[in-house]
Amino acid sequence: MIAKIAGISRAWLPACALCAAAPSAVHAQSSVTLYGSLDAGVGYVSNLHGSSAFIAEQGTLQADRFGLTGVEDLGAGRSAVFRLESGFVTTTGASASSTSFFNRQAYVGLSDPLAGTVTLGRQTDWNFDWLGSVSTAQLLGDFSAFHPGNLDGLGSTLPVQLSNVVKWKSPSFYGLSLGALYGFPGASATNTTGRTISFGGNYTRGPLKLVAVWSEYNDRLLPLSTGLGLSTFQGQNLPANAAFLASRVRDAGVGGSYRFGNVTIHLLGTDVRIASAGGADHFRTVDGGLNLRITPAEEVAVGAWSAWLDGKRWTQASLANVYSLSKSTQLYADLMVETAGGGAVADTLGIGASSGRRQIVVLSGIHHLF
């Protein structure tokens, strides 16, 4: 169960005594919420670097993380907000990042019912926030069903998180919300060290959801070798574990979903333009599927996508079943079949590259929220 602290807990009483001694013009109601997610399981891969393998897997249904989020009521509908969130690996207990503790999000801001919400710090962009919500992977509940290398930033992993960011989200006007983001150059603990700008729109009304996003990143590292299995790109040789530095990346996408009773259908398209001194290429994807709620406790989802880059092609079809033991605990089982063409190798996200054009992955595990 999510732990909520209304007001201030006993552990903070000494600090409160000091605060009470200081002059204060405003006495506001505040709350802090501790939350988290743990996910671990096992899997089978038909071809992992040339041979079949059984693996331990984590963060499949949701990313492993814990965090604190807080709201302080400032009156007149206004509030101060913050979030601190850290990713980790359930199977080993290690941090998801060796360079930053609150590696997923760390921000503080103000919210106003008319002006919207402004937050500053380490945050995610609109590709992850809004486009990702209508992708096969997120609706399927399977991180490994995101697109190759996560180049379009829909999955909860680098290069999604951005440091030194100012982000604005409008209030909802008849279901429509707008968003804008600016990332300052020279940021650390991020795969984008140049300037970032991102704009998005999200329309949600009843069973219909429509999203559109456009983002631009300067000096962005992309996992073309580890994520797509490429050895060369735009005239450059790619070492096995080195990222490709793109001088400019433009990432755009549109998508939507619609719910018919117990069935939800979704469709999404993205276009990532990757530019460097060696030229410019487009990484494009088409993604769609449906979810069927069989019972209040069980859901089945199917989805597929195709992706293209530099004459190479990847296609994946996925099937997932999620059974909820409670509101906080789920069991899941997923099947993914990926094929590649144009000289590419199959490389399921988060699993590793095969030695050929085909890869089959089966994952199952348990997920718990608190």
Residue-level pLDDT at 97: 79
pTM: 0.86
d(CA 85, CA 353): 30
In DSSP notation, 178-199 reads: EEEEEE-TT-SSSSB-S-EEEE
Residue-level pLDDT at 257: 98
Residue-level pLDDT at 159: 58
d(CA 206, CA 114): 22
Fill in the amino acid letter for 97: S
Residue-level pLDDT at 3: 42
Place of tokens 């079943």: 321
Residue-level pLDDT at 161: 85
- CA distances 356 to 5, 143, 148, Å, are 53, 22, 15
Q: What residues does 87 pair with on adjacent strands? A: 65
Residues with pLDDT less than 70, the chain: 1-28, 157-159
The CATH class given to the 3-10+29-35+52-369 domain equals: mainly beta
Contact 9, 32 (CB under 8 A): no
Residue-level pLDDT at 158: 59
Which two structure tokens, joined as six digits, stand for 355?
């030695």
Each domain of the chain, given as residue ranges in start order, spans: 3-10+29-35+52-369
Q: How many Å from the N-terminal Cα to the C-terminal Cα in the chain?
A: 5
Quickly list H helices, the chain. Answer: 13-21, 126, 136-140
